[in-house]
Amino acid sequence: MAHVPDPLPEYPAPDPETGRGASKARWTLCGLLVLVAFPALLFLRIAGYGGLDQTALFYVGLPVVIALSVVLLARPKSAVGVAVAVTTVLLLLSGPLLGEGLVCLVISAPLIYGVVALVTWMCVSLSGRDPYGPHSFIAVPVLFVLTLEGVGGLSLLPRENVGAGEVLVEAAPERVAAALAAPPEYERPEAAFLRVVPFPEPVEAVGEGLAVGDTRLVHFTPRRSLAIGAEPTPRSLELEIVESEVATDGGRVVFDVVDDTVLARWMDLRRATATWTREGDRTRLAWEFDYVRTYDPSWYFGPVQGYTTDLAAAYLAETFAAEAERSTGVEGVGRP
């Protein structure tokens, strides 16, 4: 005879006069999250502990702790539902503490929700309420390995990567070179992802020329804090040309990153390379960013940072393409 799992226990509804019953467990859980989890997150953020808040221990381990707290303390009929709800509250509470790290919070939210739901489901299955519960044991070692990624330098995927983007410019190579030699006019990016996520945006660039030793100082939107009386903090990216090849049919210029107060929080940007080549009456302009990923887990942040840097490279290519086309009286007709 097939095994029939025991029915889920019926939890008492809260008494309207005393407020006791099912709501008591929820109030206990909320109190623990506010008094324990929230201060712990704040302490981790301030102390840093060698960058642990940039490892999978933070982005995977923290959701595991939250999920276990929900399973052990809450008494709802749907543990996964309550886990997701509590995670939402915790994310909202932690947002102001993260400051500029809010970008990372937005990007990592799908990962956090997924881990919380997975761990909650796994705990419910192992508790005997699911006939397939024993099969969930396989998730325990997998989750353990994924949680440790980033601690001690462990990474499943390479940290070095390149973001690339290109555009076909309705202008001759010399016009493209002239645009690259001068400070551009930055517009808001068209990519939806770059608009939705609160990334810093370039405002202006100082410096000109395409010779080795020429520099650029790109100013970005200032960093703002929610602290009372806090002033916006300026941030910029300083670049220096270390390689330059300019010809009539194209060229290549390599910028080394000298100082970075913009992206250093999310990645280690090393180089930016602009390459342009003639294609008939037009010019193909490509930008590449060489960077090192500093966040884990790699299987999540690797693709996310790769996608983001590709969009950023394409945005930069389009920005300089627009400058070159304006100098010829063309407004980007025929771009692929």
Q: What per-residue confidence (pLDDT) applies to 231?
A: 76
DSSP-derived secondary structure for 141-201: HHHHHHHHTTGGG--SS-SEEEEEEEEEESS-HHHHHHHHHS---------HHHHHS----
Q: Are 183 and 205 in contact (CB under 8 A)?
A: yes
pLDDT digit string (tens) for the chain, length 336 residues: 445 444 444 444 444 444 444 456 556 656 665 566 556 655 655 555 555 555 555 555 666 666 566 556 655 556 677 777 777 767 766 655 555 566 677 788 888 888 887 777 777 776 665 555 566 666 667 667 667 776 666 777 888 999 999 999 999 999 999 999 999 999 988 888 888 777 888 999 999 999 999 999 999 988 766 555 667 789 999 999 999 999 999 999 999 999 999 988 789 999 999 999 999 999 999 999 999 998 888 888 899 999 999 999 999 999 999 999 987 765 544 444
Q: What per-residue confidence (pLDDT) applies to 130?
A: 57
Q: Strand order of the sheet with strand 250-260?
A: 160-169, 282-293, 267-279, 250-260, 233-247, 215-223, 202-206
How far apart (Å, rounded) are the C-alpha atoms in residues 268 and 201? 18
Q: What per-residue confidence (pLDDT) applies to 328?
A: 76
Q: What per-residue confidence (pLDDT) applies to 247?
A: 94
Q: What per-residue confidence (pLDDT) applies to 137?
A: 65
Q: Are 169 and 292 in contact (CB under 8 A)?
A: no
Domains of the chain and CATH, by start: 22-153 (no CATH), 160-327 (3.30.530.20)
Q: What per-residue confidence (pLDDT) applies to 76?
A: 55
Q: What per-residue confidence (pLDDT) applies to 14?
A: 45
Q: What per-residue confidence (pLDDT) applies to 12?
A: 44
CA distance readout (Å), 4 to 7, 121, 130? 9, 19, 10
Q: What per-residue confidence (pLDDT) applies to 21?
A: 44
